[in-house]
Amino acid sequence: MLSKTVNKNFKHETIIRSLKIIDISIITILYFTIGFTCSYYINKMYNSIRNDYYQFPKWFLFIEVCGQLTLIAILVYVIRNLVNLIPIPFEGYYGYQHIRVKELHSGGVALGFGLFYGQTELKEKMEYIFGF
């Protein structure tokens, strides 16, 4: 009798953990893909605004970098709230609750990596301003 209960609990726990791993993978892919796509368009927007930033004073470029970082911070907030709204197909399966996954609320690593990876304009401006 005890072995049936242990096997049933083990099976349930294995399924829940497997669903959690799949869910974390989906969340990470969503964060990175959305972040990288936004990064591409931010970079394109700032590249089309000013391509010859060497002729501007460094303080002006610093203010522009701060504006770009502010835009990124706002996008992080919006993207995190949007990803929270995306339903997962196996919600409720074996009692699984998507909203309880910590990575859903703290998935900033993949999102941050995706957002900053494509920011070549930001990197070049910061290298010019700070002399790296």
| Structural contact between residues 130 and 55, judged by C-beta atoms closer than 8 angstroms | no
pLDDT digits (tens, 9 = 90+) for 58-78: 888 888 889 888 998 899 889
Q: Which residues contact 27 (CB under 8 A, 6 or more apart)?
A: 83, 101, 103, 104, 107, 110
Burial class of 66 by CB neighbour count within 10 A (0 to 12, 13 to 18, 19+): exposed
Separation between Cα atoms, residue 51 and residue 28, nearest integer Å: 33
Q: Domain range spanning residue 123?
A: 2-130
Separation between Cα atoms, residue 35 and residue 41, nearest integer Å: 10
The pLDDT assigned to 104 comes to 65
pLDDT higher than 80, residue 52:
no
CB atoms within 10 A of CB 9: 10
Distances from the Cα of 125 to the Cα of 32, 64, 107, angstroms:
24, 9, 27
- Report yes or no on whether pTM surpasses 0.95: no
Q: How many domains does the chain have?
A: 1
Separation between Cα atoms, residue 21 and residue 27, nearest integer Å: 10
CB atoms within 10 A of CB 52: 6
**What single letter denotes the amino acid at residue 124?**
E
The pLDDT assigned to 50 comes to 60
pLDDT digits (tens, 9 = 90+) for 97-108: 666 676 666 767
pLDDT band of 16, cuts 50, 70, 90:
confident
